[in-house]
Structure 1
Amino acid sequence: MPWSTHAVDLRSDRVIKTFRPGSHAECEREWRALGLLAAYAPGLAPVPHSVDLAAEEPVVVMERVPGEPLRGRPLDDRRLRALAAAADELYSAVPADVLAGVPVRPDRQQRLIARIRAWVPQVRPRAGGEVGEAMDRGLAWLSRSGMDRAGRPNVPMVFGPGDGNLANYLWDGARVRVVDFEDSGLSDRPFELAEITEHVGGWTGPPLDVAAFLGLFDLTAAERARLPECRRLLALVWLFLLSFDDPRNPRNPPGTAERQAARLSGLLA
């Protein structure tokens, strides 16, 4: 999700990530993830140096890893394959017995559905044209999808970073490394892949080739069935988020919400 909970101080050899007051859970998730990946996927993410969870503004200090963010850059076949390899390594890194003790990541599907339903009375009355129509189609799909049923989906659980922003995937010329784990935790591959494919940063610049990217993953039949539903849910979330943009002080280029409406409608077709 696109709201910031931290400030980042980039040094030559380290990164100091300072969280806002009250963001101790985010800091704890970041620290846990860095420790797990240092143990089970060394080199994929920054090495953790230190943490202060007792401070009013908790702090994590970590290695600064080399590389340029993939967001905003065309992804050729080499970069696309490196992105998929990094994601695949990340999802499978934590052994099952260790993963069993990792808390579920925030903003899983039930939480997102609850947010959407809370947003409807605020946003829908002022969303007109194709945006409003796509919202209605998305809400109608959601009501019959069964995604709000309690319980875990019938797919393998994995370690998920919780943020699909391509700015968190760094290309160093040979491989992709991953940063930013404040929303990490227990998840599943379809949900995490949908986080990447539906993130607004994946198409407002040079677009991610979604079909080619997803084709690089060996998903089970159950995961393949779940993936389109997760993509629709995340696309609907982004349509609402983009509809909150203040036209007097927009954060996104004009027409972004309308383009998202078209993307959601395509996923619902």
Structure 2
Amino acid sequence: MTQNLTRRAASLPHDHVGDGPDAPESPAIELRSVSARYPSGRLALAEIDLTVRAGELWAVLGPNGAGKSTLVRVISGSLQPSAGQVFLCGEPMASRDRRQIARQLAVVPQAALPPSGFSVREIVLMGRSPHQGAWMRVSEQDDQAVQRALDACGLMSLSDRPVAELSGGEQRRVSIARALAQEGDVLILDEPGAHLDVRHSIELYEVIRREVAERRLACVAVLHDLNAAAQYADRIALLKGGRLLARGTIEEVMTYQKLKSAFEAELYVGVNELDNTRYFLPVRPSR
């Protein structure tokens, strides 16, 4: 399967051009001993270390209240950590203004739907705003970026349709297309497949997986679907109580013991003989 090939490719050593032919590139996102607090002062994240490189898709897993959405806010720069540092493409996030961040990092929030009253193309064009001047004039480069994003998400035939007329799955693809049109280095997704049926979820994850591989995006996706994470992610970050319980490959992190510890539930962990990917089934508690 395509996603398994790209996963294996992404797991190879990262030795692309940095300052010289043998210099490793800087991580796209790096968290060093990052902690964050809720407005009440209660600790939401504690000493998180995470490195995400170009061409990697990291799935963030964990139970409700584990700190997943807080982690997204910290990575995206919308929440300042109470301790530690976040780096974006080798530079401290705190040294960037919002416009600079938006040129390199795109965010699709949880259950985000595009605003109504606009066509699909108009919504996707909104992703170009960080690259436009005060008058928001549309350049040839903007048009090309929008065309690429529409094509990548299979929306060309719908580009002139009012977004309000689209299905939920199609609207989610519009949100992804708008983020891709930003043409940044980092893509942050908070529950991209939420409330979608099986077919639309697969279509969406296929788009994300392909774009991560072809554009060498660094992608962090908060997921509740363990099976989707096992199918599409390169690396897993498993959170519980604001702490990083485990991080690494699917085989290293998505084990019976670690998932049971995180979710405090029994899960059957199986291996698909066709493609050697893992799958997970909840086990009803014995009476």
Q: TM-score, normalised by structure 2?
A: 0.26
Task: Please state which structure has a larger fraction of its residues in helix.
Answer: 1
Q: TM-score, normalised by structure 1?
A: 0.27
